């Protein structure tokens, strides 16, 4: 099963990766933004990276892909039963502050765009959780992500690695 942890720039995706790796030792945790080559804004970058990540990590173990993924490309590449999504949300004020701290410009994708699309996916059961990261640290967010993965009823009986 592929689990995508996504959201806009500044929501804390990269910051939670080491905590997820610590808490999910039997799952493969992939930094999407650096999986093949660093994020570079070129057309086709995310599709290229998604293809490579799916090719490289397809198999029986759980794969947690963390990064600025394109939800439409995920839906085109994987069957609905092959993936689930956790969305990290952040207030505009917290996002601006975080992006300023790291010297980044304005967000590429607004939370509202992601949330609208993922609300559609949620109707099909593919969104496990929307987690607000505005006022919590990365370790706390990682704990909530792991909780969302563990809360899935089918994982409780299937022996999934994402426990």
Tens place of pLDDT per residue across the chain (163 aa): 999 998 877 888 999 999 999 999 999 999 998 888 777 767 788 889 999 999 999 888 999 999 988 778 888 899 989 999 998 888 878 877 877 787 765 544 444 555 566 555 655 667 888 899 999 999 999 999 999 998 855 543 333 444 3
Q: Name which of 116, 138, 136, 118 is nearest 127 in CA terms.
A: 118
pLDDT of residue 153: 52
Indicate whether 64 belongs to any domain: yes
15: exposed, middle or buried (Cβ count in 10 Å: 0-12, 13-18, 19+): middle
The number of folded domains in the chain is 1
pLDDT of residue 119: 56
pTM over cut 0.85: no
| CATH number of the domain enclosing 40 | 3.40.50.300
Helix axes 13-23, 138-150, angle to 10 degrees: 60
Q: In angstroms, rounded to a whole number, what is the distance separating the alpha carbons of residues 153 and 163? A: 12
pLDDT of residue 25: 94
Indicate whether 120 belongs to any domain: yes
Indicate whether 163 belongs to any domain: no
> Which contiguous run of DSSP H or E holds residue 83?
strand 83-89
pLDDT of residue 118: 59
pLDDT of residue 104: 65
Extract the tokens encoding 70. 């394109």
């Amino acid at each position: 099963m592929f689990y995508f942890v996504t959201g806009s720039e500044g929501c804390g995706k990269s910051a939670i990766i080491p905590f997820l790796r610590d808490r999910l030792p039997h799952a493969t945790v992939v930094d999407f933004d650096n999986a093949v080559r660093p994020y570079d804004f070129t057309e086709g970058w995310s599709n290229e990276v998604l293809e490579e990540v799916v090719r490289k990590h397809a198999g029986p173990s759980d794969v947690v892909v963390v990064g600025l993924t394109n939800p439409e490309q995920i839906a085109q590449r994987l069957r609905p039963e092959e993936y689930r999504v956790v969305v990290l949300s952040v207030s505009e004020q917290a996002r601006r502050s975080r992006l300023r701290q790291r010297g980044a410009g304005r967000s590429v994708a607004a939370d509202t765009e992601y949330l609208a699309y993922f609300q559609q996916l949620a109707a099909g059961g593919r969104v496990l959780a929307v987690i607000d990261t505005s006022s919590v640290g990365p370790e706390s967010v990682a704990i909530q992500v792991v909780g969302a993965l563990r809360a899935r009823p089918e994982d409780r009986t299937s022996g999934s690695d994402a426990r």
